Amino acid sequence: MQGYTVPLSPRGVANLAPTPPWHYAGTVVAVEFFADPAAAAATLPEGLVLDPDTPGHGVALFIDWQYSSTGKEYLDPARAQYHEFFVTLDARWNDTPVAWCPYIYVDNDAAMARGWVQGFPKKLGSVHQTRAYPIGEPATPAVAAGGQFGATASASGRRIAEARVTLQQPVADPRALALRPVVNLRHFPRLAKERQDQPAVHELVLAVLDDLAVAEAWAGTGELSFPDAPGEELADLNIQRTGAGYRFHLAYTVTDLKTLIDYTA
């Protein structure tokens, strides 16, 4: 049997995801927000605490992704493209400022499988963001001061997030985007009756992103809401206020991951 994720198979081409490298290029619409700190803290796994400097601060990101491994997978865009919405919250791993991802949604099974392996707790969702074209106003915003971008996410036919960004100025230094290292919880349950409360995999991990690049970054103002929806807990974050909005291109490669704590050991 060959392959990396399920299904393992004779030729190893049916699997949802091959062994890395996993290369990504995406366009991001993002809005900063300040959640109720107690609600944000309640989402944290053992091992992380809220960042005391920015308690409740987080970012909502909507990304139109294209993926490839080593085979120009982008030439089959029905499989290689997907839309993603996720939230990160500022946290601390010991003294290190990190970003914790409690909730994330994609519209593609391969992206869901890769995400689970990385520790991203992906569910399916329907995600959209305004696109910019070099011609075509008024059917497109300009990537320029005043340009406006909307973004939405839905799960099971219910809207779970809505954002709007109005650009003000280019971001000269991408460090201003404050992209923290992401910490995830890899988790995979056992099903044997007497061990259902003892997951087979349960480890705090640090995402390793190679060749991280940002391009054409703009900052401005941001609006964001998480409408209440049964079966989801995003709205519990109880947004107190929003901060900056951003739009930029993002790229990186995944080939590795670092375990911080293995709770099953």
- How far is residue 85's CA from residue 232's CA, in Å, rounded to a whole number? 14
Do residues 88 and 57 make contact, with C-beta atoms less than 8 angstroms apart?
no
Q: Could you say whether residue 144 binds its own copies (CB under 8 A)?
A: no
Question: Hey, what amino acid is at 79?
Answer: R
Within residues 196-225, the interface with its own copies by CB under 8 A covers 196-197, 200-201, 205, 213-216
What tokens appear for 30 in the block? 């993002």
- How far is residue 77's CA from residue 247's CA, in Å, rounded to a whole number? 23
Question: Among 79, 93, 142, 261, which residue interacts with its own copies (rule: CB under 8 A)?
Answer: 79
Beta bridge partners of 58: 33, 89
- Indicate the DSSP class of residue 197: T
Q: Please report how many Cα atoms fall inside a 13 Å half-sphere around the Cα of residue 157, on the Cβ side.
A: 0
Stretch that binds its own copies, among 51-59, 88-96, 101-109, 238-246 (CB under 8 A): 101-109
Stretch that binds its own copies, among 52-60, 90-98, 181-189, 238-246 (CB under 8 A): 181-189
Within residues 21-50, the interface with its own copies by CB under 8 A covers 23-27, 39, 42-43, 45-46
Distances (CA, A) of 131 to 111, 219, 247: 21, 16, 10
Q: Could you say whether residue 84 binds its own copies (CB under 8 A)?
A: no
Q: Could you say whether residue 117 binds its own copies (CB under 8 A)?
A: yes
**Angle, alpha carbons 248-25-154 (nearest 5°):** 75
Stretch that binds its own copies, among 53-61, 88-96, 121-129, 238-246 (CB under 8 A): 121-129
Q: Could you say whether residue 243 binds its own copies (CB under 8 A)?
A: no
Size of the site for its own copies (CB under 8 A): 109
Stretch that binds its own copies, among 50-58, 89-97, 192-200, 238-246 (CB under 8 A): 192-200
The least CB distance from residue 211 to its own copies, in Å, is 9
- How far is residue 169's CA from residue 153's CA, in Å, rounded to a whole number? 26
Pairing between β-strand 148-155 and β-strand 122-124 as defined by DSSP bridges: unpaired
Q: Could you say whether residue 100 binds its own copies (CB under 8 A)?
A: no
Q: Could you say whether residue 145 binds its own copies (CB under 8 A)?
A: no
Q: Could you say whether residue 57 binds its own copies (CB under 8 A)?
A: no
